[in-house]
A and B are shown apart, each in its own frame.
Chain A
Amino acid sequence: GQNIDQPTEMTATEGAIVQINCTYQTSGFNGLFWYQQHAGEAPTFLSYNVLDGLEEKGRFSSFLSRSKGYSYLLLKELQMKDSASYLCALLLASDYKLSFGAGTTVTVRA
């Protein structure tokens, strides 16, 4: 398996920054995705890393280090609407399937 690990829960204050880590063990993948999922809804795409480094998209940034088997999603200037589950997923090289981590539930408090 891919053994994708994420923290279960995180809490942060409105306006703050939160970093969600994702570690994995896999023989090969094409890219690493981050999705946001609100309760009862389908996941929505946030970010995608193919090469090592930082990808910035507005308030959200994602980082990948293939050599370390590590990625993080950085959420800046947190807003109440950012309270959701954040899923780390690998696009497997073997069959182009997405393998998901269990997700990190972020709660933003006023």
Chain B
Amino acid sequence: EPEVTQTPSHQVTQMGQEVILRCVPISNHLYFYWYRQILGQKVEFLVSFYNNEISEKSEIFDDQFSVERPDGSNFTLKIRSTKLEDSAMYFCASWVGDTGELFFGEGSRLTVL
């Protein structure tokens, strides 16, 4: 069964460092997303990406964040200078573009010290 894969599963970093989280969406999907879940809280939308550009972003997705699809398979989230409050589980999702569901990866846990 096709699945969304994310790496790393857990990353620990120092405040102010750059972090890149990687995702491989399902191959025939057209829309890609990043969501964030701070421990014990709701799952929050960060950004959606379609046709090689951002289609929507939330207030959380400020200038410290960027996304890229550098080749035909990877979809990355970069945090330029991490803050303590960026500590969270980051989920990548992809969607084929119909009435079906979004498929989520297992998540990347980011811990900022």
Pairing of A with B: no
